[in-house]
């Protein structure tokens, strides 16, 4: 038969012909074609021919690299269960591995299932019962997955993540999944996201960010993997093999783990559901090595696997799965670093490669964080200097570059505080409103020391006109006058205080406003970069072009800057800055009103 313009053959060589005797022992029973191993280009079963009671055999990897069979019984077909025109085949599964792990695990997504009677591909495991680990699952029909070979027409609707069962199908599932509070709906299986090069504690930061993405992933540790060299002969992959969709390679290798469903004519289909549902995409396609199935009490069972040999490039991310071209390698963006820790006489170089521009900010953050952890060889306070150069080109092909350095001091985690500004600046470049961009490279140079040095704002005094300085958070000033500030700084780690004087002119039409005095090291890392203040801020409202954006990022306040900013009733700002010989931390806020009668 032909599906979407491609010819699929019956895999006679993969079918075991089983002859059973009838009850009399004299008459031969029906001939079956139970599949003993998955092969390329299988015959596809139309979803309309799938009926309750059919038995089937699936293949997946629970350890190592070789797929193992599991038994499947069809419970029914849920019309339009995934999206309009996209059905779901509801099944019950069983095998020693499934019994041991309480049912279907994350990472089984894409496991192919073949009809025992005909040997045809029914579909791929893609959904699990919402109430928790269960042997009840949902298949994405093979018909829908085969369409990916020829780039299907787009749908106007989005894929449902949770699909409710109803009617006879719900009753059928209830008989097999009886239990108090059972949720009889199907939820798309999460993809284990394998990440190398960072410690377990650092993975928690990524896990928190991932929760904002709707908990599509389960974050796991993994081994680093290399990208294919130019002209290298790629590895092969087959149905049932562990499939990895790689976002990066090198020190920090990140990628989603699932199972290959279908391989034919130099293309592979995997997962049975979207990875990120981006449509056209570019990800590395790789084999995976499965260590075990982890039965996690919080998330449920998931596949723990490493990303291994490259096999091609993922170029489609659709409702029915992801598609890979097996003879193409992806373009890469380099992220390189040199990190020095002079206190212990260590210097290490690192290298990672991003497959897409979208992953460059988070990859650079974790690359720098992981390499500081490895080189500094400690978790805690310290002082650092980080310099970076970012290169790329605009959508018109114009090259651009950004170079900046900054200093940081942390009483809690110098590695994290040293890494967030790079992430923030890359994110601002990627999401700028002026032009589409491509990244070429990110070069990082960091020096990290144990001793925490710098200053903290202790107090701010003020005066206008004659008289002495005085304290207070409410200041009355005359329009057109000069506001003098005396900022008292304490030395971190002890030592004599230091006083710094700042002056700014009050506008002649001033009525009210507020004054902010802060150190450039007041960003508190994570929160400042996402709340748009401190050294991560580029004041985007004043930027009118991509070139101006680069200038504002290069010239943003540094950790060693002490800055006073007066914002008036008209919205205009006046700024006074003093550069220091160390990181300045702290923040003070004052309200100002006109003293004019």
pLDDT (tens digit, 9 = 90+) per residue, 101-129? 888 989 999 999 999 999 999 999 998 87
For residues 399 and 457, is the Cβ–Cβ distance under 8 A? Answer: no
* 355-403 confidence digits (pLDDT tens): 999 999 999 999 999 999 999 998 889 999 999 999 999 999 999 999 9
> What are the boundaries of each domain within the chain?
2-188, 191-325, 333-449, 455-520+557-594
Does the pLDDT of residue 515 top 50, yes or no? yes
Does the pLDDT of residue 160 top 50, yes or no? no
Distances (CA, A) of 26 to 16, 19, 117, 406, 498: 22, 12, 22, 87, 104
**Helices 420-430, 360-376: inter-axial angle, 10-degree rounding:** 170
pLDDT at 35: 80
The H or E element that residue 127 is part of is strand 121-129
* 460-511 confidence digits (pLDDT tens): 999 987 788 988 889 888 888 899 999 999 998 788 889 999 998 988 888 9
pLDDT at 211: 56
Q: Is 441 exposed, middle or buried (0-12, 13-18, 19+ CB in 10 A)?
A: middle
* 183-202 confidence digits (pLDDT tens): 556 677 888 889 998 887 78
The H or E element that residue 473 is part of is none
Ranges of H-type helices in 164-256: 167-176, 200-211
Does the pLDDT of residue 170 top 80, yes or no? no
**Helices 546-554, 420-430: inter-axial angle, 10-degree rounding:** 170
* 403-454 confidence digits (pLDDT tens): 999 999 888 899 999 999 999 999 999 999 999 999 999 999 999 999 888 8
pLDDT at 178: 52
pLDDT at 165: 53
Torsion angle (degrees, nearest 10) of CA 559, 564, 569, 572: -60
Residues paired with residue 384 on neighbouring β-strands, in sequence order: 408, 448
Does the pLDDT of residue 39 top 90, yes or no? no
Q: Give the chain's end-to-end CA distance (angstroms, integer).
A: 91
Task: In whole angstroms, give the CA distance from residue 570 to residue 287.
Answer: 60
Q: Is 79 exposed, middle or buried (0-12, 13-18, 19+ CB in 10 A)?
A: exposed
Task: In whole angstroms, give the CA distance from residue 19 to residue 31.
Answer: 6
Confidence of residue 230 (pLDDT cuts 50, 70, 90): confident
Does the pLDDT of residue 153 top 80, yes or no? no
pLDDT at 173: 54
pLDDT at 220: 85
- Residue 555 CB-half CA count within 13 A: 10
**Looking at the domain that runs over 2-188, which CATH code has it been given?**
2.40.10.10
Find the range with the poorest average confidence among 46-50, 156-160, 251-255.
Answer: 156-160
Distances (CA, A) of 81 to 11, 142, 195, 463, 541: 30, 15, 32, 70, 45
pLDDT > 90: what percent of the chain? 54
pLDDT at 199: 81
H, E, C per residue of 44-103 = ECCHHHCCCCCEEEEEECCCECCCEEEEEEEEEEEEEEEECCEEEEEEEEECHHHHHCCC
pLDDT at 129: 76
| Token digits of residue 416 | 């994290």
Task: In whole angstroms, give the CA distance from residue 1 to residue 112.
Answer: 19
* Average pLDDT in the chain: 83
Distances (CA, A) of 494 to 381, 454, 490: 15, 10, 8
Find the range with the poorest average confidence among 93-97, 230-234, 405-409, 524-528.
Answer: 524-528
Find the range with the poorest average confidence among 159-163, 193-197, 530-534.
Answer: 530-534
pLDDT at 80: 77
Tell me how crowded residue 17 is: count the other CB atoms within 10 A of its CB: 9
* 303-354 confidence digits (pLDDT tens): 999 999 999 999 999 999 999 999 889 999 999 999 999 999 999 999 999 9
Does the pLDDT of residue 180 top 70, yes or no? no
For residues 564 and 504, is the Cβ–Cβ distance under 8 A? Answer: yes
For residues 516 and 592, is the Cβ–Cβ distance under 8 A? Answer: no
pLDDT at 452: 86
| Token digits of residue 581 | 């010989």
pLDDT at 581: 86
Task: In whole angstroms, give the CA distance from residue 109 to residue 406.
Answer: 44
For residues 35 and 71, is the Cβ–Cβ distance under 8 A? Answer: no
Residues paired with residue 8 on neighbouring β-strands, in sequence order: none
pLDDT > 70: what percent of the chain? 82
pLDDT at 221: 86
Does the pLDDT of residue 573 top 90, yes or no? no
Does the pLDDT of residue 214 top 70, yes or no? no
Does the pLDDT of residue 527 top 80, yes or no? no
162-164 and 185-188: which strand pairing? antiparallel
């Amino acid at each position: 038969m032909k599906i979407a313009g491609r010819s699929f053959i019956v895999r006679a060589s993969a079918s075991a012909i089983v002859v059973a005797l009838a009850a009399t022992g004299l008459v031969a029973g029906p001939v079956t074609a139970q599949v003993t191993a998955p092969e390329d280009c299988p015959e596809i079963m139309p979803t309309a021919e799938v009926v309750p009671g059919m038995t089937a055999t699936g293949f997946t990897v629970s350890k190592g690299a070789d797929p193992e069979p599991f038994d499947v019984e069809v419970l029914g077909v849920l019309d339009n269960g995934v999206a309009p025109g996209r059905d779901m085949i509801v099944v019950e599964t069983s095998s020693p591995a499934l019994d041991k792990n309480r049912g279907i695990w994350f990472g089984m997504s894409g496991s192919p299932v073949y009809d025992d009677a005909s040997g045809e591909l029914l579909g791929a495991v893609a959904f699990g019962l919402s109430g928790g680990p269960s042997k009840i699952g949902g298949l994405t029909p093979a018909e829908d997955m085969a369409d990916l070979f020829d780039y299907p027409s787009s749908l106007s609707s989005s894929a449902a993540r949770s699909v409710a069962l109803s009617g006879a199908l719900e009753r059928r599932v209830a008989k097999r999944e009886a239990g108090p509070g059972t949720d009889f709906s199907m939820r798309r299986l999460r993809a284990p996201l394998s990440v190398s090069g960072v410690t377990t504690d650092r993975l928690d930061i990524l896990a928190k960010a991932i929760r904002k993405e709707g908990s599509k992933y389960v974050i796991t540790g993994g081994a680093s993997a290399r990208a294919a060299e130019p002209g290298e002969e790629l590895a092969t992959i087959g149905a049932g093999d562990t499939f990895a969709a790689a976002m990066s390679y090198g020190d920090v290798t990140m990628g989603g783990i699932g199972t290959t469903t279908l391989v034919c004519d130099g293309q592979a289909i995997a997962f049975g559901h979207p990875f990120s549902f981006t449509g056209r995409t570019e990800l590395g396609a790789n084999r995976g090595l499965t260590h075990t199935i982890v039965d996690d009490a919080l998330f449920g069972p998931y596949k723990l696997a490493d990303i291994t040999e490259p096999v091609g490039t993922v170029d489609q991310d659709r409702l029915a799965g992801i598609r890979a071209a097996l003879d193409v390698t992806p373009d890469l963006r380099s992220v390189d670093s040199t990190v020095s820790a002079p206190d212990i006489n260590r210097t290490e170089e690192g290298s990672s490669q991003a497959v897409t521009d979208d992953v460059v900010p988070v990859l650079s953050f974790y690359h720098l964080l992981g390499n500081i952890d490895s080189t500094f060889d400690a978790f805690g306070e310290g002082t650092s200097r980080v310099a970076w150069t970012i290169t790329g080109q605009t959508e018109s092909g114009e090259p651009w570059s950004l170079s900046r350095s900054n200093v940081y001091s942390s009483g809690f985690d110098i590695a994290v505080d040293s890494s967030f500004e790079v992430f923030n600046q890359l994110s601002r470049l990627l999401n700028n409103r002026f032009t589409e961009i491509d990244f070429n490279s990110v070069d990082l140079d960091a020096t990290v020391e144990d001793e925490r040095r710098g200053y903290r704002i202790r107090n701010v005094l003020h005066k206008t006109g004659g008289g002495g300085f005085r304290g207070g958070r409410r200041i009355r000033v005359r329009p057109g006058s000069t506001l003098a500030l005396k900022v008292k700084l304490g030395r971190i780690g002890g030592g004599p205080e230091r006083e710094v004087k700042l002056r700014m002119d009050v506008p002649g039409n001033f009525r009210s406003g507020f004054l902010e005095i802060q150190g450039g090291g007041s960003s508190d890392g994570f929160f400042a970069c996402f709340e748009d203040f401190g050294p991560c801020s580029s004041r985007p409202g004043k930027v009118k072009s991509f070139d101006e954006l680069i200038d504002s990022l290069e010239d943003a306040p540094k950790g060693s800057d002490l800055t006073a900013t007066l914002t008036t009733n008209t919205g205009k700002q006046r700024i006074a800055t003093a550069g220091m010989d160390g990181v300045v931390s702290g923040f003070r806020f004052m309200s100002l009103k006109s003293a004019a009668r």
